[in-house]
Amino acid sequence: LRTVMRIDPLLELWKKKCVRRDQLADMTGVDPGDAKTWREFIGRLLDRARDGGAVGIKQLQAYHRSLDFQHRTDGDVKFRGGLSDGETRAFQDWVVHECCKQAHERHWPHQCHVGTNNLSQSSPLPLEALAKRYPGMPLVLLHCWPFLAESGYLAKMAPSVHLDSCWQAVLSPAFHAEAMRLWLGYAPAHKILCAHDATSVEMAAGSALFVRETLAKEIQAAGGGRDTAQALLHDN
């Protein structure tokens, strides 16, 4: 069992008074207040996560804002204080790009929640720009429903984009079946993962059953076999 480091809490560390930022500054030995110190701060956090066994990063930002993270220069960003809405967005964009840049350099995957909530702003299509800018960072799209076609398109067209159907079977086994029908034979099979995202033992058991029932039918319909199931359930 390995873990990934959530980066979305970092997007709130711009406030003038911020207990979490102060605690992390004490832990890393870097008080982030400008572009240079923020880069060092993020690097030390990722190093500490790595030393603790982490293998990647993750964000849940789609629950709160769009996934359109614009590239910002250092001079575009105010890093602390009473930020306006526009300044806050610029800061958040900068932090996400810096995390992705460092993940790219480490060849770490980045799990990103897509869909299931905040539907007007959780389309995966804006993430294509991140995938192209940081090709060394495998970008794993989580959930994807109801943006199944859009997610499948990105996985087919962008070499670093992968698909994880986690949570689909919990929402409805029919959603997982729909995803497999859309993705198998279209998106490269080595880019499709079938996880669970369960929050209880009962949910994990139910998800495992639904996922396997779906795969038994849809893989056969797509002309695949046990090797495809092995890839989707484990190897990928």
Contact assessment for residue 211 and residue 196, using Cβ atoms and an 8 Å cutoff: yes
Q: So what's the pLDDT on residue 1?
A: 83
Q: Collapse the DSSP code of 136 into the 3-class scheme (helix H, G, I; strand E, B; otherwise coil) and give the result.
A: coil
- Higher pLDDT: 29 or 197? It is 29
Tokens of residue 148, six digits: 């199944």
Q: So what's the pLDDT on residue 175?
A: 97
Q: So what's the pLDDT on residue 152?
A: 98
How many Å apart are CA 21 and CA 132, to the nearest integer? 30
pLDDT tens for 86-143 read 999 999 999 999 999 999 999 999 999 999 989 999 999 999 999 999 999 999 999 9
Model confidence at 46, pLDDT cuts 50, 70, 90, reads very high
Q: So what's the pLDDT on residue 62?
A: 87
Residue type, 145: W
Q: So what's the pLDDT on residue 47?
A: 98
Contact assessment for residue 169 and residue 161, using Cβ atoms and an 8 Å cutoff: no
pLDDT at 82 over 90: yes
Q: Look up the pTM and report it.
A: 0.95
How many Å apart are CA 118 and CA 7, to the nearest integer? 19
Q: Across the chain, what does the average pLDDT equal? A: 96
Model confidence at 64, pLDDT cuts 50, 70, 90, reads confident
